[in-house]
Amino acid sequence: MKFIFSGIFILSLLAADSVSSNCRFYFPAPAEDTTDGSKLDLDGPYIIYRNGYAVIKQIQKVENAFYPVSDSVQGSLKGKLISCNVNDSLFFSTLVKDTLINEDCVFEMPEKLIAISDIEGNFEAFRDFLINNGVINSDNQWLFAKGHLVLNGDFFDRGLNVTECLWFIYHIEQEAVKNGGYVHFILGNHEIMNMNDDIRYVRNKYAETSKFINEDYKDLYKPNTELGRWLETKNIVEKIGPYLFLHGGISEELNLLNPTIEEINTKSREYYYSSKAARVSGDTLVSTIFRSKYSPFWYRGYVQETIKEDSLNITLKIFNVEKIVVGHTIVDDVRYFYRGKVIAIDTDHASGDTEGLLIENGNEYRVDRAGNKNEIK
């Protein structure tokens, strides 16, 4: 699947006779918003399932004018091809998955693994990182053989290509499996926030999008949408070989409950769209998971070094791992904490500092957007 150079984005569904299009009016691009500097732009597709139909909405552009497009397909979109804009000249295509099933949460260690975190809608940095580190090629095909790619949370908010990032992950997951590899998308606090109508960090572009396509932004990732259903299959903590991957960390309060990885994911999944209910559920594990001070997708104790190493050692023992990989709290470079027992990988992609973690044949490196490989300090 390659990027195609075109000024227009066309949704391709391989079944044109089942599609009814409603391309309304042209609107000139609005003036730039003064609150966060973002404005209406190309966006979508958003796939929403209603009353036996799949409604596909997006924003297209011709020259300097935007217009909304709404396509309605009766029945299933499984196996159909959709296209997703990135900017005026680039878009990629992917297939709607035949099935969406809950992810496993314990895996054997592959020979090579790359992890990156907190992309927050910075599509170009994300794609460059994957290409230059040999995960995919410029045609968006998987090159990483049986290697694994771990995305350690927070691909939502702050940036301006959130939708594109999500569909791109959706695409490369399929590419990886076809070639013996695997993509792990672990949910962070910003995924959970958007799934629970907390949109305080959503850029103005998306407010403009929602008005333009006549949809409430809060409804665009709900369980009756393709991306919402897909997000619901993801975990908040996974074990890969001797490594534990999660967005924030394991608090001492969570340690006291002695949970298994399976329990954390299974119990939390029931509340992905109802975090307020989780906090008053009466289930101590569930309420702890969704209470920000102690939550595995909010906790900052490792990078802030407020947890004692003895408590960290208890976590390693509970989950039978040697090291924990986290994002969530920005570091200057991918770096070690607690004598290498914690690896922090959230660098400031928005400012151009894109780095990730490479684990290859038992050795750990920090790798950057250009594909440079360096030791971790």
Per-residue pLDDT of 232-276, as tens digits, reads 999 999 999 999 999 999 999 999 999 999 999 999 999 999 999
Q: Are residues 230 and 303 in the same domain?
A: yes
Residues 230 and 316 in one domain: yes
List, in order, residues 6 or more apart from 239 with CB less than 8 Å away.
Answer: 105, 106, 107, 245, 261, 319, 320, 321
Mean pLDDT of 289-311: 97
- For residue 20, being part of any structural domain is answered with yes
Question: 39 and 184: one domain?
Answer: no
pLDDT higher than threshold 90 for residue 165: yes
Residue 18: pLDDT above 70? no
* Residue 68 · residue 17 · CB < 8 Å: no
Same-domain status, 90 and 224: no
Domain identity same for 50 and 172 = no
pLDDT at 5 over 70: no
Domain that holds residue 72: 16-95
Q: What is the pLDDT of residue 64?
A: 87
> Could you tell me if residue 319 is inside a domain?
yes
Q: Quick check: is 179 in a domain?
A: yes
Same domain, 130 and 74: no
Average pLDDT of the segment spanning 32-41:
74
Segment 198-244, tens digit of pLDDT:
999 999 999 999 999 999 999 999 999 999 999 999 999 999 999 99
For the cut 70, the answer to whether the pLDDT of residue 157 exceeds it is yes
Rounded CA-CA distance 149/176 in Å is 9
Q: Residue 268 sits in a domain of what CATH number?
A: 3.60.21.10
Task: Flag whether pLDDT at 277 surpasses 70.
Answer: yes
- Domain annotation covers residue 100: no
| Domain boundary pick from 95, 125, 153 | 95
On the question of pLDDT at 188 being above 70, the answer is yes
Any domain includes 350: yes
Q: What is the pLDDT at residue 16?
A: 34
Question: HSE on the CB side for 117, CA within 13 Å?
Answer: 29
In a domain, residue 58? The reply is yes
Within a domain: residue 4? no
**What pLDDT was estimated at residue 30?**
45
The confidence score (pLDDT) of residue 37 equals 87
Categorize the per-residue pLDDT at 323 as very low, low, confident or very high, splitting at 50, 70 and 90: very high
Residue 9 CA to residue 165 CA, distance in Å, equals: 17
How far is residue 82's CA from residue 344's CA, in Å, rounded to a whole number? Answer: 35
- Span of 15-29, 273-287, 296-310 with lowest mean pLDDT: 15-29
80 and 189 inside one domain:
no
pLDDT of residue 63: 86
Residues 135 and 199 both lie in one domain: yes
Mean residue pLDDT of the chain comes to 91
What percent of the chain is modeled with pLDDT above 70? Answer: 91
Q: Is the pLDDT of residue 351 over 70?
A: yes
Range 47-71 average pLDDT:
94
**Does residue 8 form part of some domain?**
no
Q: Taking 50 as the threshold, does the pLDDT of residue 318 lie above it?
A: yes
What pLDDT sits at residue 34? 41
* Predicted local distance difference test score (pLDDT) of residue 36: 86
Q: Is the pLDDT score of 22 beyond 70?
A: no
Instruction: Give yes or no for residue 29 having a pLDDT over 50.
Output: no
Per-residue confidence (pLDDT) for residue 141, from 0 to 100: 96
